[in-house]
């Protein structure tokens, strides 16, 4: 089979360098996550292997949840056991992962300005929710939406697009995957979401028992955050379904 490549261009050299560093960090510390081969690092571009495959679908959720749990656990053992969710984490191999709180606080304030959080009270509730989730061991977030997975004909899963890489609590990136499935395919069976969380926790706990403790209330907190943070993309990028309702217990208690 002939291997082909494609080149992704970035607006700045700094963005390209950061993406290359993130790719290398994932290759070193998140080994269960398979990435396409990186061939060339240009001044403002990355050239990578072109993967022929389909995007993730609802039926892939349990398997991808297990993969994410395994990957986050491996990264914690390899490097992130030294990290906290705030401040940014600077790895010994030169990569830098942004902190959890500050970029998301800024994004929530922008959603308020854009009208997705229509009142100051709604903004305050979401900022409070974000801060309550900034606890526990540090995993990472790489925007695990369904389009950042490619599944080949032989059922191999590849993770693509290492541009966004920050610290995050365990299961926060699982919630992004679930949110992207909801926005693409509509409501998911409650059993499927529960099974995905169990699979994620079991895989993470194989690396250390304290890593597999995310409960459904906390997952709902993450889903509520993602519902707001992804709101501008509804109607674009394949997100044709309405945004899921905000069901976080913490938000309900705040009001």
Per residue in 181-200, is it b (16+ CB within 10 Å) or e — as a string? bbbbeeeeeeebbeebbbbb
The answer to whether 188 touches 58, Cβ cutoff 8 Å, is yes
| Residue % of the chain over a pLDDT of 90 | 87
- Which pLDDT belongs to residue 197? 98
pLDDT over 70 at 190, yes or no: yes
Per DSSP bridges, beta strands 5-9 and 45-49 are: antiparallel
Q: Find tokens 């914690």 and name the residue.
A: 76
pLDDT over 80 at 98, yes or no: yes
The answer to whether 211 touches 170, Cβ cutoff 8 Å, is yes
221 or 249, greater pLDDT: 221
Domains and their CATH numbers in the chain: 52-254 (3.90.1200.10)
Q: Find tokens 């889903």 and name the residue.
A: 223
Count CB neighbours of 241 within 10 A. 15
pLDDT over 70 at 167, yes or no: yes
Q: What is the pLDDT of residues 217-242, one digit of tens each?
A: 999 999 999 999 999 999 887 888 77
The answer to whether 221 touches 133, Cβ cutoff 8 Å, is yes
Strand ranges for the chain from DSSP E: 5-9, 38-41, 45-49, 54-55, 89-90, 96-97, 138-141, 149-151, 157-159, 166-169
pLDDT over 80 at 189, yes or no: yes
pLDDT over 80 at 250, yes or no: no
Residue 163: burial class (beta carbons within 10 Å; 0-12, 13-18, 19+): middle
Q: Find tokens 């208690």 and name the residue.
A: 253
- Which pLDDT belongs to residue 249? 55
pLDDT over 90 at 94, yes or no: no
Could you give the angle at the alpha carbon of 234 between the alpha carbons of 229 and 238, nearest 5°? 120
Q: Residue range 143-159: average pLDDT?
A: 96
Average pLDDT of the chain? 93
- Which pLDDT belongs to residue 212? 96
- Which pLDDT belongs to residue 133? 98
pLDDT over 70 at 32, yes or no: yes
The dihedral through the CA atoms of 33, 141, 165, 111 has a sign that is positive
The answer to whether 217 touches 188, Cβ cutoff 8 Å, is no
pTM (2 decimals)?
A: 0.94
- Which pLDDT belongs to residue 248? 61
Closest CA to 180 of 100, 97, 61: 61
- Which pLDDT belongs to residue 255? 45
């Amino acid at each position: 089979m002939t291997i082909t490549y494609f080149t992704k261009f970035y607006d700045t050299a700094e963005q390209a360098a950061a993406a290359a560093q993130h790719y290398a960090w994932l290759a070193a510390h998140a080994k269960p996550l398979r990435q396409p081969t990186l061939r060339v690092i240009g001044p403002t571009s990355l050239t990578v292997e072109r993967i022929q495959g389909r995007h993730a679908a609802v039926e892939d959720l349990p398997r991808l949840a297990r993969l994410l749990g395994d990957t986050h656990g491996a990264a914690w053992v390899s490097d992130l056991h030294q990290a906290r969710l705030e401040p940014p984490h600077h790895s010994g191999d030169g990569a830098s992962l942004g902190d959890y709180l500050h970029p998301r606080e800024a994004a929530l304030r922008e959603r308020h300005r854009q009208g997705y959080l229509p009142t100051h009270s709604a903004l305050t509730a979401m900022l409070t929710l974000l801060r309550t989730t900034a606890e526990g061991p540090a995993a990472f977030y790489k925007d695990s939406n369904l389009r950042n997975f490619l599944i080949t004909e032989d059922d191999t899963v590849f993770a693509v697009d290492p541009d966004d890489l920050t610290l995050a609590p365990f299961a926060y990136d699982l919630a992004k995957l679930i949110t992207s499935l909801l926005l693409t395919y509509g409501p998911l069976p409650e059993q499927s979401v529960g099974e995905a969380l169990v699979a994620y926790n079991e895989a993470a706990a194989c690396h250390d028992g304290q890593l597999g403790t995310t409960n459904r209330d906390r997952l709902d907190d993450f889903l509520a955050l993602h519902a707001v943070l992804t709101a501008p993309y509804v109607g674009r990028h394949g997100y044709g379904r309405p945004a899921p309702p905000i069901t976080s217990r913490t938000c309900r208690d705040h009001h």
